[in-house]
Chains A and B, each alone.
Chain A
Amino acid sequence: MICIDSVMAGILSIPSCTIKPGICAITGPNGSGKTSFLKLLSGIIHPERGTVIIRGEDPDRCTIGWVGEYPDRNMLFTRVYDELASPLRFAHFSCEEIEQTIKTLASDLGITHLITREIRGLSGGELVLVAFGAALIAKPDLLILDETDSHLDDEFCFRLDVIIKKSNIRHVVFSTHRPERMATADEIIILDEGRIVSQISLLDKGNREFDERLQDPWFWRRVYKHIPGDS
């Protein structure tokens, strides 16, 4: 559980919010505070007032994975292996452990063939997968995706959905403008001018608040159910 209580942070003003374990989508107009909200959850910005607690801990004490819109901009190393290894090396894992973990993770992500490559020269999609690898390798308490979907096609997003489901991470929070992506979440938080204007559960079908079909996550679930992504 993520609990936000009486928070004031930059443009954000959140009296109270609870996010259950699972996948949560954050949406809202430009400048509504989506990225600020994600930074708040990850401990990158601290609230001026109030508290954020993730599974009983302060965000600073949690392991957070972050993948942004341009994943390569957060990369620190020049080789894929070093980038994947970095969170474990910083945590003083042994070389054998690191090697084993990378092997398993790379195979899960389908990037075994990239391990020895340089980051430079990877395609956009390959960069996203490597960034996912670096975010997942430390088994984060919370995985954050900040509009990672904005340059990705549907099939690629389906592939990431499978990776996320398989990773068993307790909390995944992603920001998006695309209703079809929100369809993959368990709940949706809608922000406007730094405030939460709506929090909708998609676990319970009775809860429909979308008038236009193309804006309705339930409609998109229908589309994706009938059309598998791998065709």
Chain B
Amino acid sequence: MKREMNRVHLQGVVKKKGTFTLYAEGEFFPGVHLITGKVGSGKTSLGEILAGIHTPDEGTISWEGNMRVMLLQDTSYHVTTITVREEAASWHGNADQIISLAGLADKKDTDLFSLSRGELKRLILAAILTGKYDIIVLDEPYAGLDNEARKWVNRIIEISENQVIVIISHDITSLPDVQYLWEMDEGKLFCIGRVPEELKNWNRPPPLVRYLWRNGIILEGLARYDLEKAVCRIPE
């Protein structure tokens, strides 16, 4: 039997929160999606809607294909136990795999809240990224992570298959290979389109991208190695 393609479909979604209103429309296909936007533009609220934590006031959201959805929030929201070992075991089976992937083999009995911010984040990310979820929404996955850990996250993301992976981040210098770019602007979701073809339509590109464009450099993608290649072409 042919496996149905995973897809998240938002139709006329409206969500009100005080004076703030979020509007979203679009389809999220398998692949890596990046959602950028200013502070307060509604990125986190959109992530919560994509993950089904909040239901829209108007419109519909549908998850087609398999339905295993996971959202990375602030890591302390994920903690349900005391130690690293217990927390890893509370996920989906292979606790040792999670612990070793997170590089915490020598801290199995450590209290979760005495881990550093980055260590706790690695533990939760390892659990999420090995969990065979069909839709993974990562809200600020790089916050609190050092360079090595950022590369580690991206390696796992890049070998995923048939998954819809949504990265919500303003930090564009640490990304894996991204296929689709979205932008939140004052509560409204815009689909910029495929990367790199549609990058030129980015409404509010970050300073580095604007600087590259000014130097006549066309980006071949948004992955860290694409940026490294691009900045090397800037004349001294």
Contact = CB atoms under 8 A, between A and B. Distances in A.
Interface of A: 28-31, 35, 69-70, 121, 123-126, 128, 147, 150-156, 177-180, 212-214, 219, 222-224, 226-227, 229, 231
B122 A30 contact: yes
A214 B173 contact: yes
B80 interface: no
Contacts of A28: 146
Interface string B30-50: 000000011110001000000
A69 B144 CA distance: 9
Contacts of A219: 231
B74 to A, nearest CB: 7
B148 interface: yes
B117 A147 contact: yes
A231 B38 CA distance: 13
A147 B118 CA distance: 11
A150 B143 contact: yes
B39 A123 contact: yes
Contacts of B78: none
B79 interface: no
24 contacts: A29-B146, A31-B116, A31-B119, A70-B74, A123-B20, A124-B39, A125-B40, A147-B117, A150-B144, A151-B140, A151-B143, A152-B39, A154-B206, A177-B142, A177-B144, A177-B145, A178-B173, A179-B173, A212-B228, A213-B232, A223-B211, A226-B214, A227-B211, A229-B207
Contacts of A151: 39, 140, 143, 170
Contacts of B115: 31
B231 A227 contact: no
A192 B147 CA distance: 13
Given A30-B118, A226-B211, A150 B228 contact: no
Contacts of A154: 170, 206-207
Nearest to A224: B207
A153 B39 contact: yes
Given A30-B122, A213-B231, A147 B39 contact: no
B16 interface: no
B8 to A, nearest CB: 24
A230 to B, nearest CB: 11
B40 A126 contact: yes
A178 B122 CA distance: 18
A213 B173 CA distance: 11
B149 interface: yes
A31 B102 CA distance: 13
Nearest to A178: B171
A213 B215 CA distance: 15
Contacts of A226: 211, 214
Most chain B beta-carbon contacts within 10 A, residue among A28, A70, A124:
A124
Interface string B146-174: 11110000000000000000000011010
Contacts of A30: 116-119, 121-122, 144-146, 149
B117 A153 contact: no
B68 interface: no
A178 B140 CA distance: 14
Nearest to B171: A178
Contacts of A223: 207-208, 211
Contacts of B117: 30, 35, 69, 147
Contacts of A214: 173, 224, 227-228, 231
A219 B188 CA distance: 33
B194 interface: no
Given A151-B39, A151-B140, A223-B207, 7 more contacts: A125-B39, A151-B170, A213-B232, A214-B228, A214-B231, A223-B208, A224-B207
Nearest to A34: B116
A156 to B, nearest CB: 5
A123 B40 contact: yes
A35 B74 contact: no
